[in-house]
C-alpha cells in the first residue's frame, strides 16, 4: 500500500471549495447542468491552481488560470451530463473506490443519453489521521466528446467516500 501524508489544512480547504461550489450550483436549479459544471469546475480549478502556483503572485496567477480552465472544462461537461449520467458516474466511482483492485476500471453507461465512462482507482493510502484515501482517473464521454479527470476521495467515518480533490 502506498503511504502518503496529506496536509490537513489542504484537505479542509478542498472540502470548503467543493461545498461552496456545490451550494452555489444547487442554487441554480436542478436542470441547469451547464451552470453547475461551470461553478464546480471553477471552484476546483481555482483551488488546484492556487496549490500548484505556490506563494505570492504565483499563487494568485495559478488560482486565476485554474479558475478559467476549470470553469471551461466544467461548463463543457455540464452542458450534457444529466442527472441520470451523474448518478451512474457516482455509482461507478463508489464501486471503483470501494471494491475494485488498483488499475481495474469500473464502467457506466446511460442508454437514455448515450453517455458513458469509467473510473479507475489507484492504490489506497493512509493519512496522518488514520483515514484512507484513493486517487482515481475518470473518463466521461458525452455527445462524442471525451473528457478525462483525476481526483482523490477519502473514506469518511460512516464508510462513505468523499471527493476531496478532482
Contacts 24+ apart (CB under 8 A), 1-9: 1/123, 1/124, 1/125, 1/126, 2/122, 2/123, 2/124, 2/125, 3/125, 3/126, 4/125, 4/127, 5/127, 5/128, 6/127, 6/128, 6/133, 8/128, 8/129
Please report the pLDDT score of residue 101 as a whole number. Answer: 96
Residue 127 and residue 54 share a domain: no
Last residue of a domain, one of 46, 80, 114: 80
pLDDT values of the chain reduced to their tens digit, one per residue, 166 residues: 333 444 555 555 555 555 555 545 444 444 455 566 667 777 777 777 777 766 677 777 777 777 777 777 776 666 556 888 989 999 999 999 999 999 999 999 999 889 999 999 999 999 998 899 999 999 999 888 999 999 999 999 998 999 998 6
Q: Which domain holds residue 136?
A: 83-166
Total of domains in the chain: 2
Residue 36 and residue 106 share a domain: no
Please report the pLDDT score of residue 77 as a whole number. Answer: 61
Residue 95 and residue 43 share a domain: no
Residue 96 and residue 23 share a domain: no
Residue 9 and residue 23 share a domain: yes
Residue 103 and residue 75 share a domain: no
Residue 150 and residue 94 share a domain: yes
Please report the pLDDT score of residue 75 as a whole number. Answer: 65
Residue 45 and residue 93 share a domain: no
Last residue of a domain, one of 32, 48, 80: 80
Residue 137 and residue 92 share a domain: yes
Please report the pLDDT score of residue 82 as a whole number. Answer: 80
Residue 74 and residue 110 share a domain: no
Please report the pLDDT score of residue 65 as a whole number. Answer: 79
Residue 60 and residue 16 share a domain: yes
Last residue of a domain, one of 80, 97, 119: 80
Amino acid at each position: 500500500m502506498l503511504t502518503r501524508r496529506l496536509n490537513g489544512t489542504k484537505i479542509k480547504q478542498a472540502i470548503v471549495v467543493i461545498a461552496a461550489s456545490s451550494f452555489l450550483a444547487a442554487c441554480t436549479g436542478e436542470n441547469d447542468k451547464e451552470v453547475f459544471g461551470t461553478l464546480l469546475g471553477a471552484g476546483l480549478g481555482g483551488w488546484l491552481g492556487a496549490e500548484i502556483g505556490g506563494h505570492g503572485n504565483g499563487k494568485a496567477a495559478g488560482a486565476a488560470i485554474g479558475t478559467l480552465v476549470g470553469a471551461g472544462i466544467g461548463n463543457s461537461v455540464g452542458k450534457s451530463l444529466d442527472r441520470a449520467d451523474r448518478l451512474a458516474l457516482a455509482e461507478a466511482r463508489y464501486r471503483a473506490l470501494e471494491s475494485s483492485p488498483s488499475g481495474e476500471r469500473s464502467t457506466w453507461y446511460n442508454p437514455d443519453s448515450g453517455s458513458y465512462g469509467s473510473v479507475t482507482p489507484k492504490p489506497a493510502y493512509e493519512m496522518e489521521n488514520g483515514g484512507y484515501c484513493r486517487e482515481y482517473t475518470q473518463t466521461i464521454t458525452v455527445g462524442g466528446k471525451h473528457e478525462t479527470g483525476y481526483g482523490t476521495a477519502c473514506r469518511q467515518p460512516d464508510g462513505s467516500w468523499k471527493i476531496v480533490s478532482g
